[in-house]
Chains A and B, each alone.
Chain A
Amino acid sequence: MVDKVVELKNVSMNYHTLSGETKAIRNLSLDINNGEFVSIVGPSGCGKSTLLSLISGILKPTSGSILVNGEPVTGPSSNLGYMLQKDHLFGWRTIIKNATLGLEIQKKLNKKSQAYVEHLLDEYGLADFKHHYPKQLSGGMRQRAALIRTLATNPDILLLDEPFSALDYQTRLAISEEIWLIIKKERKTAIFVTHDIAEAVASSDRIIVLTQRPAEIKNIHEIHLTCNIKTPISCREAPEFRHYFNEIWKELDVHV
């Protein structure tokens, strides 16, 4: 069994516009292990989202190679599920129709996969809302529906691009806890881009700190929190929490 599900080898990414060339990522190497929850933090605009787009295959790196499950990435693959900042549920589709969007696109919508999506919706508290439209749901429920849309195609690896940043603080705490539990329960590997240090420390096994653009790895923290119940909210009470938080905060070197 391969433990490394994602491997980045000397990846660089440059953007070109008429006014010049932007180096987004420089010579970045990184391995993600199976079942890990890895957070990526860094100064804003440092290329965190670009990194996810590269792993997902919607962008191609300027140089270097990216392997997912040992295979080079050539384009979007159903091994990977992507979650964006907003839920982006389609207003003209019901929740179940939104949840099966990925299956529809990958032409995998059949009785079995439909039943799996129904099961996910039932399991995660959306049973009564299957035939509702997104605008009838609260922000937290919508985000859960978006996660189910991502899980529907049964990816092994989830790429989470600040998926809670559009929510208010209380909802955000509650939903990030819920989604963390779902990810653990479904045994997925998660790569989580955030600029919320506390959220990253509370939920991750590892935190990768990136430098200013062009992004390089500044430091990698293995997170070991002593808490009885290992969930993000209760782990915030661990004595080490503050220590990790301060260290990462210093590394981000924020000047305003």
Chain B
Amino acid sequence: MYSNEISKEHQAYIKKYKVRRTSIAVSQISLLVLFFALWEIAAYFKWIDPFIMSQPSRVFKTLVKLTADGSIFTHTGITIFETIVGFLSGTILGTIIAIILWWSDFVAKVLDPYLVVLNALPKTALGPIILVWIGGTASSIIAMALLISIIVTILNVYLAFESCDEDKVKLLWTLGATKSQVLTKVVLPSSIPSIISVLKINVGLSLVGVIVGEFLVSKAGLGYLIIYGGQVFKMDLVMTSVLILAVAAALMYLSVAWFEKKLNKMR
């Protein structure tokens, strides 16, 4: 279509939309730039103590140093790996347990109060116990991540199973389906969107578990860098690690969101 075929009113509408979209993006970037600029200036003029508050230029120097010796890749890699293992196993195990609950209403009713309490309990409180039982290894960290994400997964996926359209299930019974056919043909496929959205929640939760785990185990990973930096008062290292963590968290979340979009398109 040629632009002269579009009415003036519609042109104005499109223009307004584009202007708004651009101004949102510009504001978002300016906010970030402004934050770092203010931080840098405040530290430069000693309005804040750069030794305690750090400073973007020092963060950048730290980043270059960590990149040069390659340690940044090791630590970030470890954290990401532990998070992925944690949230995948949390989602898979949680879904399996949700299937068991769906299968047996009796088991679901019996376990209900325990799940409610476990869900309310801050799982990080169990960190020291896990550390003692499993030991100061990556397994402890993954167990922490798993523990934090599994209860939410069980509750959400079970809810999705239970809210599966009763008439769709009835349709399968009338066709003479067995219980496992009802599960695989209707209940599971219709719950895939819920499972994916649980996956999205679990990325964040699992990362919390991993960082807490790394604080406790203190061997490697971004959580270790943060706790170590804090203890020896290297705030540059702490700030750098936090920034890397923010980027890594965002990237992991976005890749799950991308996966979700891709899957929804297929359906």
Contacts and interface: CB of A to CB of B under 8 A. Distances in A.
Interface stretch (B9-17, B164-172, B234-242): B164-172
3 pairs of A and B residues whose beta carbons are closest in the complex: A82-B174, A76-B176, A102-B175
Contacts of A81: 174
Q: Is the interface of B mostly helix, strand, loop or mixed?
A: helix
Nearest to A159: B174
B173 A76 contact: yes
A81 B165 CA distance: 20
B261 interface: no
Chain A CB within 10 Å, residue with most, of B165, B170, B171, B189: B171
A58 B170 contact: yes
A58 B192 CA distance: 27
A105 B181 contact: yes
A153 interface: yes
Interface in A84-117: 84-86, 88, 90-92, 101-102, 104-106
A92 B196 CA distance: 15
Given A80-B174, A101-B185, A105-B185, 19 more contacts: A56-B174, A76-B173, A76-B174, A76-B175, A77-B176, A81-B174, A82-B171, A82-B175, A84-B171, A88-B165, A88-B167, A88-B168, A88-B171, A91-B267, A101-B175, A104-B185, A105-B181, A106-B176, A153-B175
Contacts of A92: 189-190, 192, 267
Q: What range describes how many residues of A lie at the interface?
A: 20 to 34
Contacts of B186: 90
B126 interface: no
Contacts of B189: 90, 92
A91 B186 CA distance: 10
Interface residues of B, number: 18
A160 to B, nearest CB: 12
Contacts of A90: 168, 185-186, 189-190
B129 interface: no
A55 to B, nearest CB: 10
A70 interface: no
A78 interface: yes
A91 B172 CA distance: 15
B252 to A, nearest CB: 26
Nearest to A75: B176
A100 B172 CA distance: 12
B177 interface: yes
Contacts, number: 50
Interface string B140-181: 000000000000000000000000010110111111110001
B168 A105 contact: no
B175 A58 contact: no
A91 B264 CA distance: 11
Contacts of B174: 56, 58, 76, 80-82, 159
A78 B177 CA distance: 11
Nearest to A102: B175
Nearest to A93: B189
A78 B176 contact: yes
B167 A105 contact: no
B8 to A, nearest CB: 36
Please indicate which of the listed interface residues B168, B175, B177, B189 has the most CB atoms of chain A within 10 Å of its own CB: B175
Nearest to A103: B175
Contacts of B172: 105
Interface in B102-135: none
A58 B173 contact: yes
